[in-house]
Chain A
């Protein structure tokens, strides 16, 4: 019995170790004095300093990119989920001509390599006067995140029994009301999952953020970190501290929503 049982745990331990180690290393390094980083690297921090973090927020004004990222990722997620949910509901439930083609098109748009559209998008945004603005980042993010949102949500909505909305409509609710009162509460786990993915995508996005911003006042976290410069050397300690700060909200978000997802799944049981 034990021979069978410990294998999965070993595999899990390896997986967790491999994924968590870089993050752990970043945390350790971000707390190690700059001088020790290359001379005396240690798995366990012996000499903890918070210099890098302090420098991050005092010298480099790291709040600005964090704020920018929150605005861009938050707005993108809000638009994606609200518009995407309605699109997905229509695609999941309503019968209309060209539905399959539309779904295919949505998927195809999501498959475009980003690099191929950077130049045309740049020209477009420049014409619209949106370079170095928040809308100038949110709009391109929507074009990439929305297909993902729609596809995920179509799947979630299709899983919900159609009879629930039919019951709601017979009970006197219009389609939108039925959607809002019955479908949305039941799809919360799916919507939360989708929102997380969209948020993480927009939070981490680098290429557009680098191409469509001009200065620190609109730069997002990944761009700001990549552009960190020291006078004589690469400020590794600060970069790693910034990486920790950038990863933390996403990690916290996933942890917070994870509970909601599990809750939603168990409470939403239709038949016992």
Chain B
């Protein structure tokens, strides 16, 4: 087990593409850190640099108290689970599991014992003599996982390990990963583009965009206090609504000039027309079982993007109906329109000048 530290790490490809820049990140010993962001944000590059599969063009990487920046992957004592699993197709499951130990010169009986333990822990005993091509997707995923855990490395790296599983299996495996992490107490760096996966698994989540770290926080803080409009829109489902700040001029910082209002669909209440903050027309209602997802068109912004609101299933809401909406004043987010940075909410703290 060990901590991982990135210090000013950057990667510029020879073609000039900047995949990552100025990454400063400290991952504590035993922590489950998730790197999340849209595709092309640099999260995979960051992971591959920790693995040693890419060399940073600037900065240092430390694992434990060792500077590994210049070390090749085989000398870093890490294990990685790839998105495609990258199982060795010409080897049996047993040989796949044993490969890492064999490469590191472990004794044959020690290898056999560790492989057996890992196979038992992951329910792979029955398929040890099969080849990857004869396994189901879920089994392959387990073999990839097993190949990582038999080695008992300092750090586990996961590159979108669940994205090739179907939805049901993904949720099950997600829980299993969390259990596995609790049991092993290992340091994990986990890359995903799925914010839900990031929120459920991470002790802390690092949101990236265009090669830059946006925010590194525990999941709930990310949800409650996103540092900018990008993080606010990326985290949480359904997505946060963004409206012109002037709509709620009485509570907005600087009376709504130059700010954008962000409000989560769960923080808007539907009331009868005329009795709320604003009036809106019900456009589409999507029943989601425990709740309704309602798309509204604001009367004052008839051509703006629809406002997403999560409402209880009762009372029923009719499409094409006029309703009123009430914003939960304690849970509004304000962002500077010009650069998307968070502005302190005046309802919680005294008004800070916008554009400071």
Contact = CB atoms under 8 A, between A and B. Distances in A.
A166 B88 CA distance: 11
Contacts of A174: 72, 74
Contact of A171 (B53, B72, B103): B103
A17 B280 CA distance: 80
B148 to A, nearest CB: 9
Question: Which of A95, A163, A170, A270 has the most chain B CB atoms closer than 10 A to its own CB?
Answer: A170
B220 interface: no
B223 interface: no
Interface string B73-106: 1100011101010111110000000011001100
A161 B73 contact: no
Q: Which range contains the number of A residues in contact with the other chain?
A: 20 to 34
A261 interface: no
A95 B13 CA distance: 12
A171 B82 contact: no
Contact of A173 (B103, B135, B151): B103
What secondary structure prevails in chain A residues at the interface with B?
Answer: helix
Given A172-B103, A185-B90, A186-B89, A163 B84 contact: yes
Contacts of B79: 170-171
**Quick one: which of B89, B135, B151 has the most chain A CB within 10 A?**
B89
A189 B260 CA distance: 61
Nearest to A164: B86
A166 B90 contact: no
A96 to B, nearest CB: 11
B263 interface: no
Contacts of A167: 80, 82, 86-88, 147
A163 B80 CA distance: 11
B73 A164 contact: no
A267 B91 CA distance: 10
A113 B31 CA distance: 64
B51 interface: yes
28 contacts: A95-B14, A161-B84, A164-B86, A166-B51, A168-B88, A169-B73, A170-B52, A170-B53, A170-B79, A170-B80, A171-B74, A171-B99, A171-B147, A171-B151, A172-B74, A172-B100, A172-B104, A173-B103, A174-B72, A177-B103, A181-B99, A182-B88, A267-B89, A267-B90, A268-B90, A270-B84, A270-B87, A272-B135
Interface of B: 14, 51-53, 72-74, 78-80, 82, 84, 86-90, 99-100, 103-104, 131-133, 135, 147, 151, 157
Q: Can you list the 10 inter-chain pairs with the closest CB atoms, starting with the nearest?
A: A172-B103, A171-B100, A167-B86, A163-B86, A169-B73, A269-B133, A185-B90, A172-B104, A170-B80, A173-B103
Given A172-B100, A172-B104, 6 more contacts: A163-B84, A166-B82, A169-B53, A173-B103, A181-B99, A186-B89
